[in-house]
Structure 1
Amino acid sequence: MPDPILPEVRLLQPGDRCRLCRCGRSPQLPDCPSSCSDGFDLTARREQRLLLCRCGLSARLPWCDGSHSPPTPSLGQRWRRFWKGE
């Protein structure tokens, strides 16, 4: 089975702008092309880290909701699903 496509953690500084995909069809997830009418334009008001979906499976696009990995029964296993196995 192939490794899951892990989310992107993006650090934004105040004033940084980005256009994020909400439909999951962008070839450059999590970014959205300017030609797409469903993109989400974001301007950071403060320093912040975003956890962005790169697999297109999230129900909360552009945010990662962990859909790239199957459900797990424990909190420790939930945290580990965001990291590649060693």
Structure 2
Amino acid sequence: MLSKPAPALPEVRQVKPGDTLLLCRCGRSSQLPDCVSACPGALALSPEREQFLLLCRCGQSQGLPYCDGSHNRPAEGFKARWQRFWRGV
């Protein structure tokens, strides 16, 4: 029996003032969410406060480098979305 490859789930990254990130916005980086080259579309981020970011690792998000949930199939209604979140479906 063949198993499906694990989905590329989003990365939760804690950033702090003084950090400098170069994040991919085109989805072609081999190291998503980080941009490994000096791509002209890269997002240079220097946070002013400590925070958590939800970053896309699958490259399907419409708002790269941030995850918008595009890696999941659509869910109808709040209950279905909530169950998917907790069950990891």
TM-score bucket of the superposed structures, by smaller chain:
0.7 to 0.9
Q: Which amino acid aligns with 2:35?
A: C
Is structure 2 residue 11 aligned with structure 1 residue 5? no
Q: Which amino acid aligns with 2:40?
A: S
**Larger proportion of helix:** 2
Q: Name the counterpart of 2:72.
A: 69
Number of aligned residues:
86
TM-score by length of 1: 0.85
Q: Quick one: distance in 1 between partners of 2:27 and 2:12?
A: 17
Is structure 2 residue 38 aligned with structure 1 residue 35? yes
Alignment of 1:13-32 (within 5 A): 13-32=16-35
Q: Whose Rg is larger?
A: 2
Q: CA RMSD in A?
A: 2.1
Unaligned runs of 5+ in 2: none
Unaligned runs of 5+ in 1: none
TM-score by length of 2: 0.83
